[in-house]
Amino acid sequence: MVHLLTFNCYGTHLRGAEMGSVDRVREGRGGPIEPSVALVNYAKRTMTHAEASLDLGESLTVLGAISETCVFRHWTLLAAHVRSTHVHLVVEGIMEASCAIRDFKAYSSRALNGKGALRRWARGGNARALDDSRSVRAAVRYVVDCQGPPMAVYVAPDL
């Protein structure tokens, strides 16, 4: 099984933001949330920490931690792009996507803490199962080529 995983730095993708957000919290109310200044202001008021972001060095550190996680868990990293505010991964071999996201965040946090950086991740993340080779190729292209100027990028050699 191959998954496209995404997770964000704390405070960088707030509910109701112009860039878009999705309601996954309330039962039966899923789907896009209309942009709302009131929702964004509420989210900012309830934040318990400062907004977190990654510079290039920290992005490379996170990419190394992601590779390390894959080796330890016997997963295959097909593509990764660690941005200043979020991470996209295409990973093969994951059985439980939410546990994998938790592991990636934990390894990354430990690596960042070891360098003196204290970063927090937003709660949860997004996982999409990729059912065929066409969708895997499309996800890899999205992760590598469609995120703006590259930061910390990895593509498996055989892709």
| Amino acid identity at 76 | T
Looking at residue 16, its pLDDT comes to: 56
Q: Hey, what are 153's tokens? A: 């990028």
Q: Hey, what are 10's tokens? A: 């704390």
Q: Hey, what are 22's tokens? A: 């999705």
The mean pLDDT values, 10 residues at a time, for the chain of 159 residues are 93 61 56 67 71 90 97 98 96 97 96 75 91 97 95 93
Q: Supply angle C-alpha 104, 8, 70, rounded to 5.
A: 20
Looking at residue 15, its pLDDT comes to: 61
**What's the pTM?**
0.84
Q: How far apart are CA 105 and CA 103, in angstroms?
A: 5
Place of tokens 């546990």: 99
Looking at residue 48, its pLDDT comes to: 74
- Domains in the chain, CATH or no CATH each: 2-9+52-155 (3.30.70.1290)
Coil vs helix vs strand at 105: helix
Q: How many CA atoms lie within 13 A of 107 on its CB side?
A: 19
